[in-house]
Amino acid sequence: MASRKNLRREIPLYVMLAPAVVLVLIYSYAPMVGIVMAFQRVLPGRGIFGSPWVGLDNFAFILRMPNILQVLWNTIRIAGLKAVAGVIVPVTVALMLNNVTSQAFKRTVQTIIYLPHFLSWVILAGIFVDILSPSEGVVNLVLKQVGIGPIYFLGNDKIFPWTMVGTDVWKSFGFGAIVYLAALTDIDPTLYEAAVVDGASRRQQTRHITLPGISGTIIMLSTLSLGNILNAGFDQIFNLYSPLVYRTGDIIDTLVYRIGIVNFQYGVATAVGLFKSVVSLLLIGIAYRLAAKWADYRIF
Amino acid sequence: MNHPTERTRMRQLVALLLLVMMLVSCGEPASGPTPPPAAGAVPEDSFGALDLVTTVHYDPPIEMSSVAAVDATIKFLDGNDIHNNVWTRAYEQLLGIKLTYQWVVDGSMYGQKLGLSVNSGDIPDMFGVSAAQLHLFHEAGLLADLTSVYETLASAKTRDVLTQDPVSLKAATIDGKLYGIPLTDAAVASAPLLWIRQDWMDQLGIDPPTTMADALEISRRFTEEDPDGNGVADTIGLCATKSLWGAIAGLQGFFNGYHAYPNIWYERDGKLVYGSVQPEMRSALEALQKMYAQGQLDPEFGVKDINQVTETIAQGKCGMEFGVWWNPYHPLNQSQANYPQAFWSAFPIPSVDGVPAKSQYGSAIGAFLVVRQGYEHPEALIHMVNFWSDNILGSEDDPLRNTFLGSIETPDVVLYKYTPVVLWEPNAIINDGNKLRDALASKDPSGLNLDAQWRYRIIQAYFEQGILEAWVEVATNGPNGATTILEEIAADRGQLNRFYGVPTPAMAEKMPTLDPMQDEVITKIIMGDPLDAFDQFVENWYNLGGTEIVEEVNLWAERNQ
Amino acid sequence: MRNTTTRPLMRQSHLPLILLGATMVGYGLLTALVGGWLSNQAMSGLITAGAYRSRLGAFEQTAGLVVALLFFVLFVLCAVYASGVARVAFAIGALASAAPVLVGRAERLLFQVIGLPTMSAGSVLAGAVTTLIFTLPMIILFILLACGRRVPRACRWLSLASIFVVLGTAFFPIYVTVLAFLLKPGDPAVGRMIQVSSQVIKLRFILPGLSLLLLALFSLRSTRQQAPDASADVAAVTLTASEEGESR
């Protein structure tokens, strides 16, 4: 009885939800039918079901590419490093900002570090090539003053992945820090008051109250970022890489881009997309399980 | 006071006249950018007054749907738009073809939008495709066979244009049947020339280079002898970009000087070979490596793209570059931004030995016009092409050019952008340049069309008024300009890319990896890796699919003889 | 009631003025001839644009230097031989002798040594500056002569006319250039103006030089007319003295 009554009461809520569900069905689930293109030689005008089936040829095409393993490894490496740094740096910054007492200073810093998030990589690439230049760049001029020889941030294939991680973190840590700062405001202030009464230092407060307080957010964002493990950042790398760093800098997306230039390969592009999605799904699933088991954290 | 009146009067007169002079000289330019007269009035066409040749007039008119790719910068005369302009009106009134555009998108979105349109079954009657799309659409059975309509209806001029470059029709032929009309252009326009800062050469008293050794010596002296005289060693001999190849500051021209032809296929001992893996590459690489070690290349060229190299050129630090004939329009004009006396001259690619070097270039055919399978009037396309080639090509008739191409008084309104049927004669650039040069030599611009007359005036302003900014026109179309070198290249100093088909299966699969591998090895060798890395690369190239590609290309060549 | 009498431009001899005019005309003719010869060769393709530029540059720089020195010496001589307002006029005119030095050098001087922004019209700006350096002193010279009370009447009218001649020959080419490259590129009418202005630019030194020669001629004629009337000459001399006294 009670549940039916509830249902009736909640009808308006379901009605309000309906458009969103329909939209998700239309725009997120219906296009999944297009996955079949990964198994076809897609011909124009034949539609999704009219093109000839080629089985796993498109996947075999990718795997037969001479450097595919190197490229896959580059992608995972750069994306993985970005994911790790993308948690550590914003959390550290958020904690530091949290301990700042001057509100005006805190806000100013927050805004300044948040700004690069809105710049496009096309613009930033030009700026980075200039400031990282070994002969004239600001960074290397400073390094030379300290006695460290010029570093080829963008031209050395050992350093290039780290440059990608560094510049990506620089661009996005301000945005990440805001999320953590928001989480920090959720912590019950009485905990701090109690800790102060008990004579806890600020460092002890951070370790025993602040960090546990935002650990849920940290785990959630880390888990979600695992879904991007095969997205190493096309815009960034495409605009900054060069033949000098192909060995360590070439990623799946840039490779697919070049395939697309040579030919119209909808099938191959879809196969790559499908492959990336499957890997992401698996990783998110595993990470979620692990988080639930060890950190007792559930998103759903 | 004696004669105060006379004195004052004189002064007043002087002052007044000075004032008038100033007003006159200041006032007139200010009224300069008034809207051009007459041209804006339209849309009353006077086709009747023009001497036009047509090969058909459908009565009643037929319908033809098409699609349009336009730049964001496209401009129309008052009252015109893409659906109603001089071209749509001419097709309808003169040929009886009602051309409508199903959709209009930006050029960069064209391929995507076309794919979408075709996949949703909404195929236009006539449209433009790339070479890859031509084959894909043909495989899907979407294209009409144009062989017989071309054979029976194409006018003499159309045939002439389409056969001037022997590969253009072949590129549109699949299994012996013609499926598209190639949109021809000047292939030789993509051949590299050697551009050198002429003012630096004069400053140091250097003669034009005849051999590669001369060019290397110029590069060395540009780097070491402070050609800009600012007392700082900030100049570099040769400019290059991180992508290595290209129309601007590409290195293919340098390799050509060593008889090496990277990235193209050419005949050697009766078979087609891939230029990038030929032994001549090695000696060119050796020379580049030496130049890099001596600071004659930008130490950071490996990470600089075209924009950054343009910046280097603008800062007046770059002394030489290998690029195509239009480079003075961009980016070489930039060097004048800081150094008004800066100007560049084009030279043929010098040779490393006694054998003249050849500039490499590829087919200029980027697109084809095709007709939908099942469209009732496939021949209408041929008539439209006839209309273009019979009337526009080679025409020096100013009213006609103003009507269909655009008037020089409204330079931003380019009328031919409104129609997909645009073909250029492969040797038009060279012919135009020669006409201009003849007029300059005889000091008589009266035979030129308005556009060329303006170029004539600009060159005149350079030589007779010292307007140095006009060097751009002088260096390209002027006496001894770059287009004279194009003529030599077209005659017997060019190396044409012999492969013009769609990528073979092995190419599609391997090239996206082999190309970066090649560029990586070349860049690293230039920056100091041992030359043996090149031999290693050649071996890898063949092992990683190159052998297969060479076989496929030679098979293709046999079939397309 | 003192009656102002006119007197010739030069006190003892008109030779400096005649020489100055002749040099100016000669330099103008020489540059027009050499420039025209070189540009003809370049436009018909006999020499490259590079050879054209370096030869013209070499000529302009040497001839410019020599002529500038000549101009300066002759202007100073004119100033010494002249009196009153004419002396001031020629002293100011001497500034114009800097212009021939600048021809062929102005770009480097303005944009590399001084470091002005070129605004991507460097040669036009440099040409304008060179023209201005020649034109301004010359115009002031002619204005002063036109306003001078004791300058022979014919000379005053001639000076007045010369102002416009100088202005016209100097600024018409600049005006056309601005039209051609900035305001109305492609206009056939501007194209025809380029044709005209490339002729006008050759008159840049010739016409002012001719003006100076004519000035000398008119001035000599006025000397001859006044010669019988010695008292007027004496009056003029005393007047000069008193005027000089005033100016001190």
Min mean pLDDT across A176-190, B134-148, C3-17, C25-39 is at C3-17
Please check whether residue B32 is in contact with residue C185, taking contact to mean a CB–CB distance below 8 angstroms: no
CA distance B216 to C52: 25
pTM assigned to the model:
0.82
Q: Does B515 touch chain A (CB under 8 A)?
A: yes
**Percentage of residues of chain B with pLDDT beyond 70:** 92
Report the SS3 class of residue B97: strand
Task: Report pLDDT digits (tens) over C94-120.
Answer: 999 998 888 878 887 887 777 777 666
Q: How far apart are CA B47 and CA B94, in angstroms?
A: 8
Asked if B257 and B284 count as a contact pair (C-beta separation under 8 A), the reply is yes
Alpha helices, DSSP H, located in C11-104: 15-43, 49-81, 84-93, 98-102
Reported as a single tens digit per residue, the pLDDT across A42-97 is 877 776 777 888 888 888 888 888 788 898 999 999 999 998 998 999 999 998 88
- Identify whether A40 is part of a domain: no
H helix runs in B105-242, sequence order: 110-119, 131-139, 147-153, 156-164, 167-171, 198-204, 212-224
Tell whether A8 is covered by a domain: no
As a whole number of angstroms, the distance between CA A154 and CA B300 comes to 9
- The minimum CA-CA distance between B334 and chain C, rounded to whole Å, is 8
Residues of C in contact with B3 (CB under 8 A): 4, 149
B30-53 residue pLDDT tens: 333 333 434 444 456 778 888 888
DSSP SS3 for C202: helix
Q: What is the pLDDT of residues A131-171, one digit of tens each?
A: 888 878 888 889 888 888 788 888 888 999 999 999 999 99
Residue C7 forms part of a structural domain: no
Alpha carbon distance C54, B198 (integer Å): 10
Q: Which pLDDT score is estimated for B33? A: 37
Does B311 score more than 80 pLDDT? yes
**Predicted pLDDT at B414:** 86
Burial class (CB in 10 A: 0-12, 13-18, 19+), B288: buried
Query: What is the per-residue pLDDT for B26?
Result: 41
**Identity of the highest mean pLDDT range in B10-14, B214-218, C202-206, C214-218:** B214-218
- What is the structure's pLDDT at B524? 92
Q: Which residue of B has its CA nearest to C2?
A: B2
For chain B, list the domains and their CATH numbers: 47-186+364-418 (3.40.190.10), 196-360+495-559 (3.40.190.10)
Measured in degrees and rounded to the nearest 5, phi and psi for residue B469 equal -60, -20
C and A in touch (3+ CB pairs within 8 angstroms) = no
Q: Which residue of C has its CA nearest to B471?
A: C49
Average the pLDDT over each of A268-282, B144-158, B523-537, C15-29 and give the range with the smallest value.
A268-282
- pLDDT surpasses 50 at B460: yes
Q: How far apart are CA C45 and CA B35, in angstroms?
A: 38
Shortest Cα–Cα distance, B501 to chain A (Å): 12
* pLDDT cut 90: percent of chain B above it: 57
Residue C178 lies in a domain: no
Nearest one of A277, A228, A283 to A28, comparing CA atoms = A277
CB contact under 8 A, C118 and B11: no
Write out chain A residues lying below 8 Å of B310, CB-based.
none
Q: Please report whether residue A4 resides in a domain.
A: no
Is A147 within a domain?
yes
Q: Which residue has the tokens 């009657």?
A: B125
* For residues A175-188, average pLDDT: 87
> pLDDT value at position A216?
82
pLDDT at C244 over 50: no
Q: Is residue A36 part of a domain?
A: no
At B475-509, the pLDDT tens digits run 999 999 999 999 999 999 999 999 988 888 888 88
Query: Could you tell me which residues of chain A have a Cβ less than 8 Å from any Cβ in chain B?
Result: 43-47, 61, 64-68, 126, 129-130, 133-135, 152, 154-155, 240, 242-244, 246-247, 250, 255, 258-259, 261-266
Q: Which domain covers residue C160, as residue numbers?
A: 14-169+205-244
CB contact under 8 A, A244 and B137: no
C231 has pLDDT over 50: no
The count of structural domains within chain A is 1
SS3 B482: helix
Indicate which CATH number applies to the domain containing A133. 1.10.3720.10
In a domain, A11, yes or no: no
Residues 135-164 of C with CB under 8 A from B: 143, 146-147, 149, 156, 160, 163-164
Q: Give the pLDDT band (50/70/90) at residue C238.
A: very low
Residue A28 domain-assigned (yes or no): no
Flag whether pLDDT at B548 surpasses 80. Answer: yes
Contacts of A155 in chain B (CB under 8 A): 300, 302-303
Does residue B100 have a pLDDT over 70?
Answer: yes
Residue A33 in domain: no
How is B285-301 classified by DSSP, letter by letter? Answer: HHHHHHHHHTT-B-TTG
Instruction: Provide the token pair at B498.
Output: 């012999």
Touching B (3+ Cβ pairs <8 A), the chains are A, C
Which structural domain, as residue segments, surrounds residue A181? 50-294
Tokens linked to A58? 């498109």
Total domains present in chain C: 1
This complex has an ipTM of 0.84
Confidence of residue A262 (pLDDT cuts 50, 70, 90): low
Q: Mean pLDDT throughout A239-243?
A: 87
Nearest to B519 by CA among B240, B239, B245, B192: B245
Cα separation of A157 and A143, whole Å?
20
Give the residue among B150, B148, B112 at the shortest CA–CA distance from B133. B112
| Position with higher pLDDT, C22 vs A192 | C22
Task: Check whether B203 has a pLDDT greater than 50.
Answer: yes
